[in-house]
Amino acid sequence: MTQSELMKALGLVLAALTLAPLASGGQSADDPVTVSTEHPRLFLRPNRLRLLKRERERTSARWQQFEALVAGGAPMPERGFAQALYYQISGNQAAGKEAIAFALSAGSDLRQQALVFDWCQDLLSEGQSRDLAARLEKAIASAPSDESVSVARSRALAAVALFDHVPKTPQRELERIVHTWWEGKTVPALKSGRSVVPRDDAYALLELLHVLRDNTNSDLRDNFPRFFKDFPIEHLLSYYPLPFQGPDSEYYIGAMHKPADPDLRLATLSRAAELAMVAYDTNAPESQVLQGWLMHDRFILKGTFGVTYEFLWANPYQPGLSYYHVPLVYYNADFGRLFVRSSWEDTAKWFGYFDGVMQVFEEGRVMAVNPQRTTAPIEMHEALICLGQTAKKFRIRLDEEDAIFIVGLVPRRAYQVEIDDEEMFESVADPGGILALDAPRGKDIGIRIVEVPPSGSKVDSR
C-alpha cells in the first residue's frame, strides 16, 4: 500500500469507530455516585502503582529525572503533587511530610490538597487529617466558582479523596458533577456545537475521566461517544507543525486564538493530556497513534513543572502506531473546526479554522488569515479551502485526493450549491460556518453558492 492508501484506510477505520458506541456502563440521572476503593484512589490504582514502582526498581530515565529534581530540592512549581508522588513510589517519609506541610499551608490549592490527603493518608496525624479533611469539605460544600472543567476536576478529586471520611458532602458533590454539571449542562452544550471544553482544558478533563472511572465506575464518555473518539486526533492535528525549543526539552504548541509567545505551561499540560489519553484507553486505535507520537525522546518533559506528569502517566512499554498514517485533513462538523497539514514533517504547511479564527502556519510562523484581503482559495496538499466571506463563485481543479471546504459562512445557515454538470442541492453550514463539499476530480469545475434566506427575509443572490 502507498502512504496515501494507508492514510485513507486509517481514516475509514477512525470514521467507523466514531460511529461505534463505547461500552455501556454510564449512569442514569438518578443513580447514586459512590466510592468503594481504598487509598490511594487518585490515579494510583494498583496497576499504575505497580508500573511506577517497577520504573523505580529499573532506575528508568524518567524515574532518575524525577528523583533528581525532587530529592535534590529543586523548586517544584507543584510541590505537594511532586512530593506526595515521590513518597508513594519511594516510601521516603520526609518527602511525604513535606507534601503534608505544603497542603496545610496558605498557598496550597484544592487539587494538590486532595492528592496529598489521598497519597499521604498513612502519614497524616489525627490533627492533620482532621484539618485537611475540613478544608476539603468546606471547598466542595460551597457553590463552585465557575462551570469550568478545571474547577469540576479539582472538586471531584477532593470528593473522591474525602469519601467515607465525612458524611454526605462528598457524595452530593460527585452526584452534582456527574448528573448536573456533566450530563445536565456540559453534554447538551457539546451536542449543540458549543466549545465548552477548550483545548487547554484537555488535561483537566482527562484527570476527571480517570478519577471517576477508577473509583465510581462512571465513564463520562458514554454520554457523547463521538466527541471522545475525535478528541485524540483533533488534539494531534491542532498542533502547529514546528516544535519549540524550550530550556529543558522540545515542545509542540497547540493552536492559539491569537499569535503570541509560546506558553510552555500549556504545552506541558498538552503533552500530559496525551499521556493520560493513552493511559485511559490503551487499546483504542487513536491511543496507539497518539503513543507513536509520544515516543520521541526529545519531547520527554524534564523540567520542574512537567517531570511529575511525565513520570506519572508515561508508559514506555505501550506499543504505538506511526502517526504518519493519520489523515492530514481533520474536519469536525459538530463544532465547525478544520485542521489541515501538508505533511507530517516539521516543515509542513498548516491551516486551522476554529472558533471563528483562521490561521496559516508556514516557514516557522503563524499568520492570521484576513478574509477581506484573501480571495484566492488556500491550497494544501490534500485540501482546498475557499473563503465564503469574500466569494460566492469559485473556479477550481481538484486532484484525486483533495477535499474541498468553504469556510467563513453563516453558521447553521442553509445554502444552495451549484456545481458544473451536477444537480443543484441544498446544504447547511456547520456551527463554525463550514461547508464540506463532494465535487468532481481531475477537471476544472465551477462552484456557486447562494445563501437561502431565512423565512420572511430576502438575500441578494447576485
Separation CA 85–CA 301 (nearest Å): 16
Q: Give percent above pLDDT 90 in the chain.
A: 81
pLDDT, position 4 = 42
Query: Which amino acid type is present at position 186?
Result: T
pLDDT, position 23 = 38
C-alpha cell at 324: 504518519
Query: Which amino acid type is present at position 330?
Result: Y
pLDDT, position 12 = 45
pLDDT, position 20 = 40
pLDDT, position 456 = 53
Separation CA 112–CA 132 (nearest Å): 11
Number of Cβ within 10 Å of residue 46's Cβ equals 10
C-alpha cell at 257: 486564538
C-alpha cell at 384: 482546498
| Contacts (Cβ under 8 Å, ≥6 apart) of 32 | 171, 175
DSSP 171-188: HHHHHIIIIIIIIIIIHH
pLDDT, position 376 = 83
- Which of 177, 185, 155, 124 lies closest to 42, judged by CA? 155
CA 410 to chain centre: 27
DSSP 403-459: EEEEES--TT-EEEEEETTS--EEEE--TTS-EEE----SSEEEEEEEEPPPTT---
Q: Which residue numbers in the chain have pLDDT < 50?
A: 1-27, 459-462
Sort strands 393-397 and 403-407 into parallel, antiparallel or unpaired: unpaired
Look-up of cell digits 470528593 = 159
Terminal alpha carbon distance of the chain: 47
Name the packing angle between helices 126-141 and 110-119 (round to 10°): 140
Write down the domain spans for the chain: 32-324, 327-451
Separation CA 210–CA 105 (nearest Å): 27
CB distance 219 to 187 below 8 Å: no
Angle at 150 between CA 144 and CA 154, to 5 degrees: 70
Number of Cβ within 10 Å of residue 122's Cβ equals 10
330-359 pLDDT, tens digit each: 999 999 999 999 999 999 999 999 999 999
64-98 pLDDT, tens digit each: 999 999 999 999 999 999 999 999 999 999 999 99
- Which of 196, 262, 207 lies closest to 81, judged by CA? 207
Separation CA 333–CA 338 (nearest Å): 9
pLDDT, position 279 = 97
CB distance 390 to 371 below 8 Å: yes
Q: What are phi and psi of 145, to 5 degrees?
A: -70, -30
Look-up of cell digits 506519572 = 312
> Which secondary-structure segment (H or E) carries 159?
helix 149-162
What CATH number belongs to 32-324?
Answer: 1.50.10.100
